[in-house]
Amino acid sequence: MISENNSNPTVMSLHSPYKKFSSIRAFVDVSGKTKYCVSCSNTATQEAIFTADGASIIEKYCDSCAKKEMK
């Protein structure tokens, strides 16, 4: 999330109580571009869906980080 209260936007981590886990599924890359885990930068294999403030957020994770994030 970005705060637009001033001319210098700040980024707020979505690893917070503001997002709620919804579901996870295997990530299949159809674009041919490698996608990376948002936690460790390894190749993503899972796609997690969260909801936050009425929006859906899709984050990609490797298998080990997906297990940690979904606990």
Tokens coding 28: 């299949």
Strand-pair partners of 11:
2
- Is the entire prediction scored with pTM above 0.75? no
What pLDDT is attached to residue 11? 42
Per-residue pLDDT of the chain (71 residues; tens, 9 = 90+): 444 444 444 444 445 567 788 889 999 888 888 999 999 999 999 999 988 888 999 999 999 999 887 76
> What's the pLDDT at 17?
64
**pLDDT for 1:** 44
Q: What is the DSSP code string of 10-67?
A: EEPPSSSTT-EEEEEEE----SS---B-TTT-SBP-EEEEEEETTEEEEEEE-HHHHH
The closest alpha carbon to 35, from 10, 61, 71, 7, belongs to 61
